[in-house]
């Protein structure tokens, strides 16, 4: 062996080092965007009044599995904060955002939440890590610390039962509301037998339980077949459901499996005289665009944002959404979506509550203020928080849209009357 060359032992040590370095690098890579605890005040904080800033803690997974959603949420939050600060803040006090990225990791999110409470001493928290499971884990910590928590995640358990979630609210649809509206739509279209394809994540599982409950109450015959969120082939599930001869199929997921569902369903020849649809987790045109011809005529159960410009002029939602969509487009040079709107609404609602509470920033005071707001017209619909309902949005905010091959348009019977 030549002097100075690696001995096998040193070589092995080096290999281990290399592996750990690669892993560490990967971890850092996915941590990008503030995992280390970026504290950024809202962009326009300086233009607000000279008051002491109100600290808004925020957790969004801008990396990791829920990143598609988290990225939009963070931008929606920033936009709202900038708008509020540009208009002089809340009662002369600017909002200051303390942001962490849990990257889809619940344990990390819990640590970050503790840091928000004890080290950063934030006044309110908006955003529950872009994943319902994370928001659920953050909730008890924030409630114990008497910090108002405005979750921007979907699962209804985040705010239910309301008597155990005194200081926790959310700015999103309950899947209950979306499914109820969808069931009404099916009834209007004469559909009785439904094939339901939820994925095996919490998002899908929750919808499955809820749809089965709604079905029992409204005389629908629902059969379900679940699939893994990374599935590349849903033909087995569709084949299984086909035996019950459903008049409508709906897939409930947030992953590209939504596209696969549309393609597989058309390949099996379903869709002629049968309604194919996706849930509000798939409210992104990309899911439909990538399915090509297979997506034409497919439905979407979600908020009114994707079809806002096609709403009747007497719908008050039209102008509100238009203003938000244009502001978002101008700020980020990319189209807004429902997730951005959820975070945007969340911040605006909290600001309203702070104003109404008159200086008392305790969780209980702000919760009482939110419950007393009456109707607040947000981007995703009218929020009506009550002591029993901390989710606020009702069926009137839900629309069933149809993909016409290029964009979403309102479906026949798709808007609540």
Partner 1 sequence: MADFLQLTFSGLTTGAAYALVALGFAIVFRGTRAINFAQGEYVMLAGVTAGALHAWAHPPLAVVVVAVVLLGALCGLATEVACARFLRRPDPHTLTLATIGLGVAIKAVVLLATDRKAYTLPGFSGEATVALGGAVLDAQALWNCALVALAAGALAAFLRHAPLGVALRASADDAEMAAASGFSRRGAAAWSFALAGALAAAAGAGLAAVSPVNYDFGTLLGLKGFAAAMLGGLGSMPGAVVGGFAIGLMEAWFAGYVSGTYADVVAFSVLLVVLFTRPTGLFAAVRVERV
Q: List contacts with partner 1 (CB under 8 A).
A: 5-8, 11-12, 14-16, 18-20, 22-23, 25-27, 29-30, 32, 63, 65, 67-68, 71, 200, 225-228, 230, 232-233, 235-237, 239-240, 242-243, 255-257, 259-260, 263, 267-269, 286, 290, 292-294
Q: Which DSSP letter does residue 252 get?
A: E
Spatial CB neighbours of 34, under 8 Å, sequence gap ≥ 6: 40, 62, 99, 100, 101
Quick one: 196 or 383, whose CB is closer to partner 1? 196
Give least dist CB 7 to partner 1, A.
8
Concatenated DSSP letters for 34-73?
Answer: TTTT-EEE-TTGGGS-SSPPEEEEEE--SSSTTHHHHHHH
Distance CA 308, CA 302 (A): 12
Show the DSSP H helices in 268-361 as ranges: 285-289, 317-332, 338-357
* Of residues 339 and 383, the one with the C-beta less far from partner 1: 339
- Compute, in degrees rounded to 10, the torsion defined by CA atoms 213, 218, 221, 224: -30
3-state SS string for 266-295 = HHCCCCCCCEEEECHHHCCHHHHHCCHHHH
**Least CB distance to partner 1 at residue 1 (A):** 9
* Nearer to partner 1 (CB atom), residue 8 or residue 374: 8
The conformation of residue 391, written as its DSSP 8-state character, comes to S
CB of 253 to partner 1, least distance (A): 12
Of 131 and 143, the one with the shorter C-beta distance to partner 1 is 131
Residue 290 or residue 362: which is nearer to partner 1 going by CB?
Answer: 290
Length of the chain: 417
CB of 417 to partner 1, least distance (A): 36
CB of 20 to partner 1, least distance (A): 7
Computed over its alpha carbons, how large is the radius of gyration of the chain?
23
CB of 237 to partner 1, least distance (A): 5
Q: Which of 231, 353 has the CB closer to partner 1?
A: 231
């Amino acid at each position: 062996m030549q002097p100075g060359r690696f001995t096998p032992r040193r070589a092995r040590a080096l290999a281990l080092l290399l592996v750990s370095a690669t892993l560490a690098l990967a971890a850092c890579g996915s941590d990008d965007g503030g995992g280390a605890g970026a504290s950024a005040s809202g962009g326009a904080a300086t233009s607000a009044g000279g008051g002491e800033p109100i600290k808004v803690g925020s957790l969004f997974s801008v990396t990791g599995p829920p990143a598609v959603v988290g990225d939009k949420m963070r931008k929606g939050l920033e936009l709202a904060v900038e708008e509020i600060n540009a208009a002089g803040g809340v009662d002369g006090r600017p909002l200051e955002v303390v942001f962490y990225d849990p990257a889809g990791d619940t344990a990390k999110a819990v640590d970050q939440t503790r840091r928000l409470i004890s080290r950063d001493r934030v006044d309110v928290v908006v955003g529950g890590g872009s994943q319902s499971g994370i928001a659920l884990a953050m909730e008890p910590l924030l409630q114990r610390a008497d910090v108002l928590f405005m979750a921007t995640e979907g699962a209804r358990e985040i705010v239910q039962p309301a008597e155990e979630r005194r200081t926790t609210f959310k700015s999103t649809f309950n899947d209950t509301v979306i499914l109820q509206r969808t069931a009404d739509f099916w009834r209007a279209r004469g559909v009785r037998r439904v094939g339901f394809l939820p994925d095996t994540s919490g998002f899908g599982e929750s919808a499955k339980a809820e749809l089965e409950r709604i079905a029992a109450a409204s005389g629908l015959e629902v059969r379900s077949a679940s699939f893994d969120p990374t599935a590349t082939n849903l033909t087995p599930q569709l084949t299984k459901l086909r035996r019950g001869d459903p008049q409508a199929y709906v897939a409930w997921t947030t992953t590209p499996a939504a596209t696969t569902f549309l393609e597989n369903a058309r390949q099996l020849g379903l869709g002629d005289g049968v309604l194919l649809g996706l849930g509000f987790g798939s409210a992104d045109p990309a899911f439909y665009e990538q399915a090509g011809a297979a997506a034409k005529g497919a439905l979407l159960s979600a908020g009114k944002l994707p079809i806002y410009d096609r709403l009747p002029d007497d719908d008050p939602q039209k102008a509100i959404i238009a203003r938000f969509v244009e502001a978002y487009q101008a700020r980020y040079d990319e189209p807004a979506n429902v997730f951005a709107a959820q975070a945007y609404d969340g911040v605006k609602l909290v600001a309203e509550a702070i104003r109404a509470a008159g200086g008392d920033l305790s969780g209980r005071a702000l919760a009482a203020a939110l419950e007393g707001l009456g109707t607040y017209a947000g981007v995703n619909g009218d929020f009506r928080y009550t002591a029993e309902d901390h989710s606020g949005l009702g069926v009137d905010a839900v629309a069933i849209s149809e993909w016409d091959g290029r964009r979403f348009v309102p479906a026949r019977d798709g808007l609540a009357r």
